[in-house]
Amino acid sequence: MSISKVSVIGLGYIGLPTAAVFASRKIEVIGIDVNQHCVDTINRGQIHIVEPDLDMVVHAAVTEGYLRASIVPEPADAFLIAVPTPFKEGFKPDLSYIQSASEKIAPVLKSGDLVILESTSPVGATEQMAVWLAEARPDLSFPQQAGEASDIRIAHCPERVLPGHVLRELVQNDRVIGGMTEKCSLAARALYKTFVEGECVLTSARTAEMCKLTENSFRDVNIAFANELSIICDKLGVNVWELIQLANRHPRVNILQPGPGVGGHCIAVDPWFIVDSAPEEARLIRTARVVNDSKPEYVIDQVVKAAASLKEPVIACFGLAFKANIDDLRESPSVEIVKRLADRGIGRVVAVEPHIQELPAKLAGVELIGLEDALQNADIIVLLVDHEAFRNAVGRQRAETVVIDTRGFFQNK
C-alpha cells in the first residue's frame, strides 16, 4: 500500500505534532480542524499550542509546502483521528468528537484507505468508529463486514507522548498498533514506520485501546499510593520524602512522588474509561482516582490551618502548571487550589508562575508576582509545582515563613 497523502483530523497537542512529523518526512499532509483560528495560524506557519521546537517544525513543513490545514476534509490515503475524548456526566466517555470526525471523513473515503484512531479511547471505540463509517458509506466494505477483504483498513494506534517532549517521543517511543485485522495492522505499521524509530508492535484494536488506558491507570494508581503515603506520614510524623527515598533503595520498590493532586488531560481521565467499562471490577483503579482527586482539598486544609494563627497572611503559591517546567495550566490541581484558597478569603493569595505572563480569568482576585517579591513578603509559601526555576528559592524564605511543600522541594532530598 502506498501512502502519498495523510490527513490528520484534530490539530491539537497530538494531531499537530504528528502532522508536522509526517510532513518533515516529505509526506503531503492535510490537517483538518473545526477551529478556523487554529487552521489560519498553522497556514501562516505558526502554532496555537505550546510545545518545545514544534513552532520550527511546523514553520518548515508549511513553508516547504508539505503541511496545510483546512476545516474541509479532502481525500487522502490515510486518515489519523486525534480528537479529544473527554468524559461527560458520571465519568462516562464522550465519543462525540470521534463520531463527528468519522462523519466528516466518511464522504471522502475511497477503497484502499486506512483510518487510524489515535485518540485515547475506551475499549470498543475503534469498532464503534468503524460502524459509524460503515453507516455513512454503505458503498464501501469495512473490516467488521468483510474481514481481510475490506475496502477500508482500520486500526487503533494510541499516542503515548509526554507533553514537553512530544517531538522526541513521537519518533523514539515504541508504538502499539491495533488493527481490526492483520492487514489493517500491517498497513498502519507501514505508515508509522515512515518516522517511528521505536518498535511498532502489532496487536488487536481492543488490546491497543486497553493498553493505553492501562499505562495511564498504572501511573495514576502509583501516584495515588504516593499521595496516600504522604497523608499517612503527616499523621505519623514521618517525612514522606525521606521515607520514599529509603524504600526505593529496595531493588524491587519504585514509589512515585506525592504532589498536590494529578493534573493534565490524560492520567486524571483515562482510568475512568476502565471504571466505566467494568464498574464492579475496577475497584483499585476507581479508588486511586478518588485518592488523587482528594489531594487538593487536603492541601487547602493544611494552608487554612497554617493561616488560622496569622492575621491577613500573604499566601504565596509557587507554581500553577499541571507539572514541572511547562506552562500548561489546563486541568491543573494547582490552579484549583489557588482558586479555592482565594475564595476562602483567609489572606492575600498571590501566585508565582515564571512560565506565564498573566493569570487565567478564573484566578481573578489573585495577583501574579515575582519570586523575589514572594520570598520577601510571604507569610505562607505553598509549593505546588517543582519548577526548576524555584530551585534557588529553597532556604531563602524568611525564617518565620511557613512552608507547605507538596512536592518535597524544600526538603533535603
Of the residues 183, 212, 323, 339, which is catalytic?
A: 212
Task: At 46, list the grid cell.
Answer: 505558526
Quick check: 294 binds ligand SAJ (CB under 6 A)? no
Q: Helix or strand or coil: residue 91?
A: helix
- In the complex, least distance from residue 218 CB atom to ligand SAJ, rounded to whole angstroms: 7
Alpha carbon 104 to chain centroid distance? 25
Q: Is 38 a catalytic residue?
A: no
Which of 264, 271, 296, 313 touches ligand SAJ (CB under 6 A)?
Answer: 264
* Burial grade of 304 (CB within 10 A; 0-12, 13-18, 19 or more): middle
Site string for ligand SAJ, 376-395 (x = CB under 6 A): --------------------
> Which of residues 70 and 257 has its CB atom nearest to ligand SAJ in the complex?
257
- In the complex, least distance from residue 263 CB atom to ligand SAJ, rounded to whole angstroms: 4
Quick check: 219 binds ligand SAJ (CB under 6 A)? yes
Quick check: 267 binds ligand SAJ (CB under 6 A)? yes
Half-sphere CA count of 230, side-chain side, radius 13 A: 27
Q: Is 323 a catalytic residue?
A: no
Torsion of CA 150, 152, 153, 154, to 10 degrees: -120
Quick check: 223 binds ligand SAJ (CB under 6 A)? yes
C-alpha separations of 411 from 158, 240, 375 in Å? 38, 10, 17
Strand partners, 316: 350, 381
Q: Are 61 and 24 in contact (CB under 8 A)?
A: yes
Question: Which positions ≥6 away from 411 have C-beta within 8 Å?
Answer: 239, 241, 242, 405
Which of 143, 179, 259, 296 touches ligand SAJ (CB under 6 A)?
Answer: 259
Alpha-carbon gap, residue 294 to 260, rounded angstroms: 9
Q: Are 30 and 74 in contact (CB under 8 A)?
A: yes
- In the complex, least distance from residue 135 CB atom to ligand SAJ, rounded to whole angstroms: 29
Site for ligand SAJ in 314-353 (CB under 6 A): 322-323
- In the complex, least distance from residue 333 CB atom to ligand SAJ, rounded to whole angstroms: 6
Which of 35, 70, 141, 257 touches ligand SAJ (CB under 6 A)?
Answer: 257
- In the complex, least distance from residue 330 CB atom to ligand SAJ, rounded to whole angstroms: 11
Quick check: 263 binds ligand SAJ (CB under 6 A)? yes
Quick check: 59 binds ligand SAJ (CB under 6 A)? no
DSSP 128: H
DSSP 107: G
C-alpha separations of 311 from 177, 213, 231, 315, 380 in Å? 59, 47, 27, 11, 12
Which of 71, 162, 232, 238 touches ligand SAJ (CB under 6 A)?
Answer: 162
Task: At 383, list the grid cell.
Answer: 509549593
- In the complex, least distance from residue 14 CB atom to ligand SAJ, rounded to whole angstroms: 7
Of the residues 266, 295, 317, 323, which is catalytic?
A: 266
State the residues that interact with ligand SAJ by CB under 6 A: 120, 159-163, 215-216, 219, 223, 256-257, 259, 262-264, 266-267, 322-323
Active site residues: 212, 266
